[in-house]
Amino acid sequence: MLGIFDSGVGGLTVVKELQKRIPNLDFVYFGDTARSPYGTKSQDTIFRYAEESVQFLITQGATVIAIACNTVSAIALDYLRKKFKLSFLDVINPIVNTALKSSQHKKIGVIGTSTTIRSKIYNTILTQRDSHATIFEISAPLLVPLVEEGFINRSETRRIIKYYLRPLKLAHIDTLILACTHYPFLTKAIHSIMGKQVKILNPSESLVVENLAFLKTLDQNNDQKFYVSDDPDKFRKTMFQWLRKSAQVQNISAIIKN
Ligand code: DGL
């Protein structure tokens, strides 16, 4: 069974892509809502949180883990692979393939949380794979709380996006990776600011598309469970707003403590 792990609600962007392509796929989702955001936390803290979360998913029957969170994929993927004898799918390696295929001039922008951008993981992997690629990385931390507050089509949000994207516009990138679970909800505004010529890429989509053949081999009995470490009501409401999906959400604050 697939385990989906995120720091909170953001991993619902992976669920959204699964809904489109393999709607009955069985999975168990854990969102660490008590301890999010992860994007401002240190490496050691993220290692500890990620290890506990994966351990929980294993107890729920997960045999392969999709790390929906860009911050965890950036910081803790190797750590988790060493700790657990399981397959891990991440959001970075698939989008790197997509970006290199789609970028004509190999001028690629990346926006993500402070921790993801500080790790320089995108620069490292993209330039290892193509030494002609030039990568421009910018952290855009304010966008996470704005999306969580539902400030999607607001002029305030647009102004903040414009501020963050300015250096990428000046750099004339032709491809932009939205390297944070929450940013795909702002695609429309980002597109209109960057212009139609810039390709906007969603790592949650790439995770599902690049691993589609494998994911289709997993059970599809519509057995989908959601767990959070705090405030299941808020998670349920967000899930309905973002995906129009209703489901039970269980609180495991007794197991994963803040
Ligand atoms: N899920 C995180 C990511 O994709 C964003 C939210 C957080 O900072 O925890 O990087």
Closest Cα to atom 1, ligand 1: which residue?
69
Are the CB atoms for 116 and 74 separated by under 8 Å? yes
Which residues have CB under 8 Å from 81's CB, separation 6+?
88
**pLDDT given at position 257:** 80
Among 247, 212, 238, 177, smallest CA distance to 17 is for: 212
Nearest-atom index, ligand 1, CA of 11: 1
CA 149–ligand 1 middle distance (angstroms): 15
Are the CB atoms for 193 and 168 separated by under 8 Å? no
Provide residues with CB under 6 Å of ligand 1.
6-8, 10, 36-39, 69-71, 113, 116, 144, 180-182
| Cα(230)–Cα(197) distance, integer angstroms | 41
Are the CB atoms for 245 and 19 separated by under 8 Å? yes
CA 255–ligand 1 middle distance (angstroms): 21
CATH numbers and ranges of domains, the chain: 2-90+207-255 (3.40.50.1860), 92-203 (3.40.50.1860)
Are the CB atoms for 224 and 190 separated by under 8 Å? no
**pLDDT given at position 258:** 79
CA 116–ligand 1 middle distance (angstroms): 9
Which pTM was predicted? 0.96
**pLDDT given at position 254:** 85
Nearest-atom index, ligand 1, CA of 179: 4
**pLDDT tens-digit profile, the chain (258 residues):** 999 999 999 999 999 999 999 999 999 999 999 999 999 999 999 999 999 999 999 999 999 999 999 999 999 999 999 999 999 999 999 999 999 999 999 999 999 999 999 999 999 999 999 999 999 999 999 999 999 998 999 999 999 999 999 999 999 999 999 999 999 999 999 999 999 999 999 999 999 999 999 999 999 999 999 999 999 999 999 999 999 999 999 999 989 887
Placement of tokens 């250096």 in the chain: 167
Which residues have CB under 8 Å from 20's CB, separation 6+?
none
| Cα(230)–Cα(36) distance, integer angstroms | 10
Residue to probe by mutation, ligand 1, list 33, 71, 149, most atoms within 8 Å of CB: 71
Q: How far from 103 is each of 96, 171, 177, 191, CA to CA, in Å?
A: 11, 14, 11, 16
Active site residues: 69, 180
What would the two tokens of residue 137 be? Answer: 């990385």
